[in-house]
């Protein structure tokens, strides 16, 4: 849950590299060597990329192995820039500065972000303005929203998270998420906390909401894949593959596979919104 | 003879590796963290209350206070309990029980911190939320978990210190008509004081440095904690939480946090070794 092996790997690799650079011996390893293609980045995209990679390996046994790692959107974009991964995964749009470094990107799907509360919470609909006020700390108790007399427990993601980046950009606009908010480092951790605290509110990828927490309607629209496809539900962000320069032919082949109808079918079956070719 | 030399050089090489690693680590954190400290200002870094790394705000005051709260709480929990156990095993427990207790306590030290965090999250946090209020993820939860985690450090070193007090002191006190408890409280514990202080300082070092269990139970909010029921972030948990996602100045600021921690832990260890050395002389 908290201890995702992928993140531990990233930290370990990081420490190792740290040690090596200070000895002046860190050779940047390039992605795609040793017969495998490395994808790294967003932990929101990761499970879906893993699913596609598995299916791809089944259908194309002779192609190089696809190696999926986590680390977060910002780390994924960095990895694509530095060449430690051939493809970076991002669950937010690229920033101006990142685009200026000459990155190419390809959306492989779109994902709705759901605002979620505890199952027992009587509140089932909020306006964007209310969500903004809740997360910026202006509204502090559920009674201010017509709910029970209980302080709101805010759950947010850490800085650098693509889900947080997209949530801030799409919904918070210029407001800042309150310092009172509890920070958790994955969709799963947010879900665990919201599931166990009746006063909690958080936001997470719609695809993995499941039945543990309750998504609330935003401005009267229930977050569903359909509503997002039809453009009624506004909190939608892209899942991107990011790379620098030209993709190697095997990597290109994998990206093309991810955009193919069967792969897109798998993604939409998982609750994501397919890209329109 | 040749073998002897070989072993000697081999051991020397190992020892130097340890020293080298420490040097490399020191140089590296300083190199990575200093630029942001210089640019943002050390005082501002330590006293600013806003941490918004993607907006160029690098104040770690909330984390310093969080660390103080959580570590202080852990000592409140761990020190009396640890000392009581140390006194019990050295002076009151029948030898067989003491022999059983020792490995059991040392086993506590071997449990991975993520397990402590998980137990805290699943048992302590809901208990606190339902009975005391607040989100449950709190300074209190962190202090309780860490309080248990530092027990082995405190018990082991305090026990050694108490055992190191010469039997003559006890005999003398008893000969003057003191009861067992009186001789312990008035003579043995004061004589062992420096060792006990060292155990507390080392426990504190462990509490300050612990990361995983703390991330799981303190809530990681950026507010300045004002009550044990408030959520908080510690210096280490913030690094653990954000390192994977950090880049640029944000990453440097995390290294700068590392510098602050580094000097804090060095200081604590220095204090602990000074106190420990004194015990041995006594």
Looking at the predicted structure, is the pLDDT value of residue B226 above 80? yes
Percent of chain A with pLDDT over 70: 87
Quick one: pLDDT at residue A93?
87
Please tell me which of the candidates B24, B54, B114 has its beta carbon nearest to residue A23: B24
Ramachandran area for residue B264 (φ above 0: left; ψ -120 to 50: alpha; else beta) = alpha
- Does residue B233 belong to the interface with chain A, where contact is any CB pair within 8 Å? yes
Which among A64, A89, A65 has a CA at the least distance from the CA of A10?
A89
- Give DSSP secondary structure letters for A152-197: -EEEEEPTT-HHHHHHIIIIITTPPPPTTSEEESSHHHHHHHHHH-
Distance from CA of A115 to the nearest CA of B (A): 18
> How does pLDDT run across A229-257, given as a tens digit for each residue?
888 898 999 999 999 988 999 999 999 99
pLDDT of residue A185: 85
* Beta bridge partners of residue B57, listed in sequence order: B52
Predicted confidence at residue A226, as pLDDT, reads 84
| Structure ipTM | 0.81
CB contact under 8 A, A160 and B221: no
State the pLDDT confidence band at B123, using cuts at 50, 70 and 90: very high
Whether B126 contacts chain A with CB within 8 A: yes
Q: What contacts B205, CB < 8 A, 6 or more positions away?
A: B265, B268, B269, B272
Q: Per the structure block, which two tokens stand in for A133? A: 């006020």
Contacts of A180 in chain B (CB under 8 A): 221, 223, 231
Q: Which of A22-26, A33-37, B43-47 has the weakest average pLDDT?
A: A22-26
User: What confidence score (pLDDT) does residue A11 get?
Assistant: 54
Q: What is d(CA A154, CA A141) in angstroms, rounded to the nearest whole number?
A: 11
Q: What's the pLDDT at A153?
A: 93
pLDDT at B44 over 80: yes
pLDDT at A15: 52
pLDDT in tens, A59-83: 988 888 899 988 888 889 988 998 8
Burial class of residue A60, CB neighbours in 10 A (0-12, 13-18, 19+): middle
pLDDT at A84 over 70: yes
User: What is the residue-averaged pLDDT of chain A?
Assistant: 85
Chain A residues with CB within 8 Å of chain B CB? 2-3, 7, 10-11, 14, 18-19, 21-23, 70-75, 78, 151, 153, 158-161, 176, 179-185, 192-193, 196-197, 199-200
Residues of B in contact with A197 (CB under 8 A): 129, 135-136
Contacts of B124 in chain A (CB under 8 A): none
More confident residue, A55 or A8: A55
Q: Which residue, among A73, A92, A148, A159, would best test binding to B if mutated, counting the most B CBs under 10 Å from its CB?
A: A159
- pLDDT for residue B261 is more than 90: yes
Q: Which residue of B has its CA nearest to A7?
A: B244
Tokens 């790379």: give the residue: A243
| Cβ within 8 Å, pair A75-B245 | yes
Residue A1, pLDDT score: 41
- What does each C-alpha distance from A24 to A17, A28, A30, A82 come to in angstroms? 10, 12, 18, 17
Higher pLDDT, B1 or A54: A54
**Chain A neighbors of B126, CB-CB under 8 A:** 196
Do residues A199 and A153 make contact, with C-beta atoms less than 8 angstroms apart?
Answer: yes
Radius of gyration of chain A (CA): 19
CB count within 10 Å of CB A34 equals: 11
Q: Are residues A11 and B126, on separate chains, in Cβ contact within 8 Å?
A: no
pLDDT digits (tens, 9 = 90+) for A137-193: 999 999 999 888 889 999 999 887 888 989 998 999 888 999 999 999 888 889 999
- In sequence order, the 6+-apart residues with CB closer than 8 A to the CB of A190 are A116, A155, A157, A184, A202, A203, A204
SS3 content of chain A, % helix, strand, coil (to 5): 40, 25, 35
Q: Which residues contact A185 (CB under 8 A, 6 or more apart)?
A: A2, A7, A157, A158, A161, B215, B241, B244
- Residue A29, pLDDT score: 40
Residues 6+ apart with CB under 8 A from A94: A77, A103, A105, A240, A242
A132 neighbors A219 (Cβ within 8 angstroms): no
Question: Which of A210, A194, A197, A198 shows the shortest CA–CA distance to A120?
Answer: A198
Interval B7-26 mean pLDDT:
93
The dihedral region occupied by B220, where left means phi > 0, alpha psi between -120 and 50, and beta the remainder, is left
Q: How far apart are CA A204 and CA A112, in angstroms?
A: 9
Q: With an 8 Å Cβ cutoff, are B233 and A184 in contact?
A: no
Segment B248-273 shows an average pLDDT of 89
| pLDDT exceeds 90 at position B245 | no
Task: Write down the pTM of the prediction.
Answer: 0.80
Is-contact B143 B120, C-beta < 8 A? no
Is the model's pLDDT at A33 over the cut of 60? Answer: no
pLDDT tens for each residue of B136-149: 999 999 999 999 99
Give the integer Cα–Cα distance in Å for B282 and B278.
Answer: 6
Q: Which two tokens stand for residue B235?
A: 């210096």
Percent of chain A with pLDDT over 90: 50
**What stretch of H or E contains A106?**
strand A103-117
**Cα distance between residue B26 and residue B30, in whole Å:** 6
Q: Where residue A24 falls among pLDDT bands split at 50, 70, 90?
A: very low
Q: Mean per-residue pLDDT for B41-46?
A: 91
Q: How far apart are CA A55 and CA B2, in angstroms?
A: 60
Put simply, the answer to whether A185 touches B137 (Cβ < 8 Å) is: no
Q: Give tens-digit pLDDT for A197-213.
A: 999 999 998 878 888 89
Say if the Cβ atoms of B243 and A11 lie within 8 Å: yes
Q: Calculate mean pLDDT across residues B101-124.
A: 91
pLDDT for residue A137: 93
Name the phi and psi angles at A64, rounded to 5.
Answer: -60, 155
């Amino acid at each position: 849950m908290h201890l995702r092996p992928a993140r531990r790997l990233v930290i370990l690799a990081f420490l190792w590299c740290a040690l090596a650079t200070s000895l002046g011996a860190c050779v940047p390893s390039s992605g795609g060597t040793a017969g495998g293609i490395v994808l790294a980045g967003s932990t929101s995209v990761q499970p879906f990329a893993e699913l596609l990679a598995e299916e791809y390996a089944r259908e194309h046994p002779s192609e190089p192995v696809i190696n999926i790692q986590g680390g977060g959107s910002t780390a994924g974009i960095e990895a694509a820039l530095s060449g430690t991964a051939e493809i970076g995964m991002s669950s937010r749009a690229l920033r101006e500065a990142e685009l200026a470094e000459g990155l190419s990107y390809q959306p492989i799907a779109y994902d709705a972000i759901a605002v979620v509360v505890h199952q027992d919470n009587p509140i089932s609909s909020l306006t964007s303005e209310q969500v903004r006020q809740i997360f910026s700390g202006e509204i502090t108790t559920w009674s201010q929203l017509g709910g029970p007399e209980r302080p709101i427990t805010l759950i947010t993601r850490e800085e650098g998270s693509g889900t947080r980046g997209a949530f801030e950009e799409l919904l918070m606009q210029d407001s800042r998420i309150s310092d009172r908010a509890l920070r958790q480092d994955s969709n799963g951790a947010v879900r665990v906390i919201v599931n166990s605290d009746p006063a909690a509110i958080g936001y997470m990828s719609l695809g993995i909401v499941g039945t543990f927490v309750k998504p609330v309607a935003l401005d009267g629209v229930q977050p569903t894949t359909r509503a997002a496809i039809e453009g009624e539900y506004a909190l939608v962000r892209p899942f991107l593959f990011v790379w620098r320069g030209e993709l190697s032919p095997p990597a290109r082949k994998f990206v093309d596979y991810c955009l193919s109808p069967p792969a897109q079918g798998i993604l939409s079956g998982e609750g994501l919104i397919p890209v329109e070719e | 003879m040749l073998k002897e030399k070989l072993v000697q050089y081999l051991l020397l090489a190992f020892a130097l590796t340890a020293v080298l690693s420490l040097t490399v680590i020191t140089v590296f954190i300083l190199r990575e963290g200093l630029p942001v400290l210089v640019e943002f200002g050390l005082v501002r870094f330590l006293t600013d209350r806003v941490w918004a790394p993607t907006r160029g705000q690098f104040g770690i005051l909330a984390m310093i206070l969080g660390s103080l709260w959580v570590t202080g709480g852990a000592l409140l929990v761990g020190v009396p309990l640890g000392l009581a156990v140390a006194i019990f095993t050295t002076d009151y427990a029948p030898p067989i029980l003491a022999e059983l207790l020792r490995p059991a306590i040392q086993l506590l030290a071997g449990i991975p911190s993520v397990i402590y965090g998980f137990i805290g999250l699943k048992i302590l946090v809901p208990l606190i939320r339902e009975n005391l209020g607040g989100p449950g993820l709190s300074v209190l939860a962190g202090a309780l978990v860490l309080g248990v985690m530092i027990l082995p450090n405190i018990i082991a070193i305090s026990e050694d210190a108490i055992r190191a007090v010469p039997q003559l002191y006890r005999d003398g006190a008893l000969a003057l008509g003191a009861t067992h408890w009186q001789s312990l409280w008035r003579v043995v514990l004061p004589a062992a004081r420096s060792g006990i202080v060292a155990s507390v300082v080392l426990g504190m070092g462990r509490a300050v440095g612990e990361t995983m269990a703390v991330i799981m139970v303190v809530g990681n909010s950026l507010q300045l904690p004002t009550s044990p029921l408030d959520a908080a972030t510690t210096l280490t948990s913030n690094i653990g939480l954000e390192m994977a996602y950090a880049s640029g100045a944000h990453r440097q600021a995390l290294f700068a946090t590392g510098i602050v921690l580094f000097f804090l832990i060095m200081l604590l260890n220095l204090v602990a070794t000074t106190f420990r050395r004194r015990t041995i002389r006594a």
